[in-house]
Amino acid sequence: MQPEDVAAATHRIAAHVHRTPVLTSRRLDERVGARVFLKCENTQRAGAFKVRGAFNALLQLPPAQAAAGVITYSSGNHAQAIALAAGELGIPATIVMPHDAPEVKVAATKGYGAAVVRYDRYAQTREQIGADLARERGLTLIPPYDHPHIIAGQGTAAAELLAQAHGLDVVLTPLGGGGLLAGTILAAREAAPAARIYGVEPEAGDDGLRSLRAGRIVHIDTPRTIADGAQTQALGEWTFPIIAGGAADVLTVSDEALREAMRVLATTTKLVAEPTGVLALAGLLTHTGTISGGRIGVIVSGGNVDLDRYAALIATQ
Ligand SMILES: *Cc1c(COP(=O)(O)O)cnc(C)c1O
């Protein structure tokens, strides 16, 4: 993949996604001793950067495949993004969700016009259901991160950030399966070749860090963490080589650091973000001494969190 893939994606999806704001805060700058630029993808359509990859992938489907429809297995932000993008583009979408997925999420997905297929997560795997349905019904499977069109689409967030805040020394992104980090590395390769790009993942799910150290994709059990959007078990065949070749490093943060970052974000900018959304900010707050640079970009990746859960998460004690 090339930086041009991200540039092409930026043009392709421009009419469908928000160019989200970049916020700064003097209090935050003083706390970390650098100028911090927050790219607010929690204000993106459907509440996370995932619509970028979704539109970039769906807009490139050959007409026959678009007419037949798409399928994905995810109960999180990727599902909402595919449902929204497919609905807007007139593409039939099927989302495979566990039988015990929260009804609000199922309702939201149906609200965008997608069909929801439930499965028993103790008896079946979502990959199997997805693959079976794709074959039986002739649907195209759109994976959440390991696809070049998804990676290029996610990279458009960093491409915008680099244009909005010139001359960044460092960019920090959350890291799950690596679509966002790989896209960011591609975006920076041309726009800011000297910038150091870090991925930040939950301590409990440090497969990215281990993979980087081992020089191969390391698989782990589903990690227990409040960062539900980063509970991936492994980087992808597409994302790993880009990350291994271009990331300065992978940093990890505790769940407590995520709660603190949610509080800091709310206090300094009045923004609500989900736990996974503040991974990069928590990385900056935790590893301030390691990350050197006067101008630091931070991707706040999503804001989809139930308000009662949010209140419980930011409560101290
Ligand atoms: C999906 C997601 C991530 C992780 O993105 P990857 O491309 O899987 O690394 C981070 N934050 C939010 C809010 C997400 O929805």
Encode the chain (317 residues) as per-residue pLDDT tens digits.
999 999 999 999 999 999 999 999 999 999 999 999 999 999 999 999 999 999 999 999 999 999 999 999 876 899 999 999 999 999 999 999 888 777 777 888 899 999 999 888 777 888 888 889 999 999 999 999 999 999 999 999 999 999 999 899 999 999 999 999 999 999 999 999 999 999 999 999 999 999 999 999 999 998 899 998 898 899 999 999 999 999 999 999 999 999 999 999 999 999 999 999 999 999 999 999 999 889 999 999 999 998 999 999 999 86
Q: What pLDDT digit, counting tens, does each position of 91-107 carry? A: 999 999 888 777 777 88
Q: Kindly give the interhelix angle for 3-13 and 50-58, rounded to the nearest 10 degrees.
A: 90
DSSP letter string, the chain = --HHHHHHHHHHHTTTS----EE--HHHHHHHTSEEEEEEGGGSGGGBTHHHHHHHHHTTS-HHHHHH-EEEE-SSHHHHHHHHHHHHHT--EEEEEETTS-HHHHHHHHHTT-EEEEE-TTTS-HHHHHHHHHHHHTPEE--SSSSHHHHHHHHHHHHHHHHHS-S-SEEEEE-SSSHHHHHHHHHHHHH-TT-EEEEEEEGGGTHHHHHHHHTSPPP-PPP--S-GGG--SS--TTHHHHHHHH-SEEEEE-HHHHHHHHHHHHHHH-----GGGGHHHHHHHHSTTT---SEEEEEE-B----HHHHHHHH---
Site to substitute for ligand 1 among 74, 207, 231, 276, most atoms within 8 A of C-beta: 276
Which residues contact ligand 1 via a Cβ below 6 A?
48, 50, 76-77, 145, 154, 174-181, 229-230, 232, 274, 276-277, 301-302
175 Cα to the center of ligand 1, angstroms:
6
Q: Which atom of ligand 1 is nearest to the CA of 174?
A: 10
Q: What pLDDT digit, counting tens, does each position of 220-275 carry? A: 998 899 998 898 899 999 999 999 999 999 999 999 999 999 999 999 999 999 99
Q: Which atom of ligand 1 is nearest to the CA of 178?
A: 9
Q: What is the rounded CA–CA span in Å between residue 34 and residue 298?
A: 12
Fill in the amino acid letter for 230: A
Determine how β-strand 35-40 pairs with β-strand 22-23: antiparallel
* The predicted structure's pLDDT at residue 186: 98
Note the CATH number of domain 3-48+147-314: 3.40.50.1100
* The predicted structure's pLDDT at residue 146: 95
* The predicted structure's pLDDT at residue 220: 93
Q: How many residues comprise the chain?
A: 317
Contact in structure between 187 and 37 (CB atoms under 8 Å): no
What's this model's pTM, rounded to 2 decimal places? 0.96
Q: What is the rounded CA–CA span in Å between residue 307 and residue 309?
A: 5
* The predicted structure's pLDDT at residue 78: 94
DSSP letter string, 287-305 = STTT---SEEEEEE-B---
Which residues carry out catalysis? 50, 75, 201, 205, 207, 301
Report the mean per-residue pLDDT for the chain: 95
Measured between alpha carbons, how far is residue 2 from residues 5, 51, 171 in Å?
Answer: 5, 21, 19
Q: What is the rounded CA–CA span in Å between residue 292 and residue 196?
A: 9
277 Cα to the center of ligand 1, angstroms:
8
What's the chain's Rg over C-alpha atoms?
A: 18
* The predicted structure's pLDDT at residue 75: 66
* The predicted structure's pLDDT at residue 3: 95
* The predicted structure's pLDDT at residue 102: 74
Q: Return the CATH architecture of domain 51-141.
A: 3-Layer(aba) Sandwich (3.40)
Contact in structure between 284 and 43 (CB atoms under 8 Å): no
Q: Which residues contact 32 (CB under 8 A, 6 or more apart)?
A: 284, 285, 288, 296
Site to substitute for ligand 1 among 6, 38, 49, most atoms within 8 A of C-beta: 49
Q: Where in the chain is the domain with CATH 3.40.50.1100?
A: 3-48+147-314, 51-141
Strand ranges across the sheet with 35-40: 22-23, 35-40, 295-300, 170-174, 196-202, 249-253
* The predicted structure's pLDDT at residue 317: 67
